Structure 1
Amino acid sequence: MARILVVCSANVCRSPLAEQLLQARLSTIPGFDRLVCSSAGIEVSRGHEMCVDAAAVLGLPSEGPKASAHRARRVTKSMIGGAGLVLTASRAERSALAKLSPEARSKVFTLREAAALAEAPDQAIATWRPGAGTTADQRLSDLAALLNARRGLAPAPKPERTGLFARFGSDVDPLDIADGHNLGKRAHRTTLRSVQRSVERFGAAVEALPR
């Protein structure tokens, strides 16, 4: 089964939100409609629910029978190995996964990095062939290979300077979605919007690839 794994720190905010948004966005793209997205965290207090604000973005109540069934879990080497593409919230998680599973480096990207690489013009490097990969697993493998081949050739995404982070005058790493979960409502909203924007950019770029 073709799987995308999304990883952040605690697996309660950025990664579960990205997981659900990616599942919804990519399922509309021919060839990617059979993907299964999941998420995990590097520093996890096992069993924690999705944060209330992330659940609200998805239209889910914070409690009751219709609340999110998500429970935080720690990422494992087998999860990484079973995924065709791994997307992280930031370079910190990307580095942690490289130590946990060095052989998987070629398929691990930050979400913002993957969006920028997917958007790169075809002339940057031509590794994606229309019609390549007839199954979801093959299509996902082809996509990961394309992103990896474009590393260092595609322009880096522009730094995000919004909300609390802009007010303090510090650029967030251009490849990161900053963790505003515990920095107050304003920073938290900025983080959630960044996840939404990054997923939409990535989905739109994947949809625009030749078929």
Structure 2
Amino acid sequence: MVFELDTKRLEFPHPSYAEEDGLLAVGGDLSVDRLLLAYSNGIFPWFSDDSPILWYAPNPRFVIDPSKIKISKSMTNVLRKKTFSLSIDRSFKEVIQLCATMNRKDQTGTWITQDMIEAYSKLAELGYAHSVEVWQDSILVGGLYGVLINGVFCGESMFSKVANASKAALIYLAQEIELRLIDCQFHTDHLESMGGEYLSLTDYLAILTKDQRHE
């Protein structure tokens, strides 16, 4: 069942009510408070310019355990040679803009609308959204961004202008930030090759809501 949200009420249905494709609700807004409530409950927006705001909560969820990220021999060599330099939160707005405009195989247009860019840039200003940048000769050649909630990094998008740049960003994220989980949301072969696996919504929510103070 797909629920219709009221912009005047800050609430979501439980994510377990989502459809088979993960669609849970429609409508609402992209305010900071609504986005934080969504991510805190395993829900995220995903829609295009010509549709209303759509909210998803996939079950099962595709995730990466940071401690189990897979690094191929060729990628190990790339990192050893220091082909790239990497940073965190140095150029969030540039990263999200490039994620929105990069051409992707078998994909036309983008779901990262101008409203999404403005909303996540605001989250970044408040310290909730973060980016990883990959540099080569002082040029931004790759990166990713997402929302960090209770030790879970909810990855939104990544881009790569040169080979291995997005892989380097993901590895850097897993190794340099203390995370409990990287939420990839949906399956891709690329993410599976780096250790992505399915996790039930129940187990995902248990990790997302676990009190870190008692670990």
TM-score by length of 1: 0.22
After TM superposition, the score normalised by the length of structure 2 is 0.22
Q: Which has the higher helix share?
A: 1
